[in-house]
Amino acid sequence: MLKNDRPWFHGFKIFTFVWMIFVIIGSIKVAPEATGFVSTSRVVFFHVPVAWVAVLAFLVSAVFSIRYLRKKQMEDDIWASSSAALGFLFAILATVTGSMWAKHEWGSYWNWDPRETSIVILLLIYAAYFALRSAIDSQETKAQLSAVYSILAFVTVPFLIFVVPRVIFTLHPQNPIFTNEPKQRMTPSIRWVFFASLFGFTLVYYWILRLKVDIERIKQRMTEMEDKS
């Protein structure tokens, strides 16, 4: 029943799989090394998309939280919490890949760069969100309170992105895509692979999100059946 209602999803899975293979090949074979860096610059094809997905998952979670507060459908809570769980995973991936790159280029795994600070805050918010969920027994209360917290946290994030870099000096590469400096600009092939990777990781995110939502739905249905019997 869960599978048959969306036959296009099979096509989507195959498409994502093939697309990601091309992204991986492209990032290693097609894109040239960035000037001034050794091969480490290739981390941009994985680190940035993963960080992008972490923020996107957070946005999706906040949108479904707002929907939950408006309509009070448990379905929306499943989407919000599943997306938050994925966001947590991708935020960890972004932290680890960034930290490894920082060790190579800046000489240390961690130096409280503003971007590092904001990803840590994102991790803390996700962790707090799940700590809150695990501390409440009733399903409705859990859904409602975590939705409120998710929105509150989402209101805070823009301040973190604008405030922290203003106060602390950053070494993190700033915006190499839209910059006007010709030297810092991405070359066309790097740019193509970069955007392909961004798109690919977004598809992967959607794929895992659907899986996670299905699992949560089945779990919920099982608890409902247990309650009845």
Q: Could you say whether residue 55 binds other proteins (CB under 8 A)?
A: no
Q: Could you say whether residue 54 binds other proteins (CB under 8 A)?
A: no
* CA dist., res. 117 & res. 114, Å (int): 5
Sign of the CA dihedral running 24, 44, 64, 137:
positive
Using the minimum distance from each CB to other proteins, give the nearer residue, 20 or 136. Answer: 136
* CA dist., res. 65 & res. 151, Å (int): 7
- Least distance (Å) between residue 154 CB and other proteins: 9
Q: Could you say whether residue 153 binds other proteins (CB under 8 A)?
A: yes
Phi-psi region at 107: left, alpha or beta (left = phi > 0; alpha = psi -120 to 50): left
Phi-psi region at 181: left, alpha or beta (left = phi > 0; alpha = psi -120 to 50): beta
Question: Among residues 136, 198, 203, 213, which is the contact residue for other proteins, using CB under 8 A?
Answer: 136
Q: Could you say whether residue 74 binds other proteins (CB under 8 A)?
A: no
* CA dist., res. 43 & res. 21, Å (int): 16
Rounded to 5°, angle at Cα 203 from 114 and 144? 70
Q: Could you say whether residue 155 binds other proteins (CB under 8 A)?
A: yes
Site string for other proteins, 169-208 (x = CB under 8 A): ----------------------------------------
Q: Could you say whether residue 156 binds other proteins (CB under 8 A)?
A: yes
Which residues bind to other proteins, rule: CB under 8 A?
69, 121, 124-125, 127-128, 131-132, 135-137, 140-141, 144-145, 147-149, 151-153, 155-156, 159-160, 163-164, 166-167
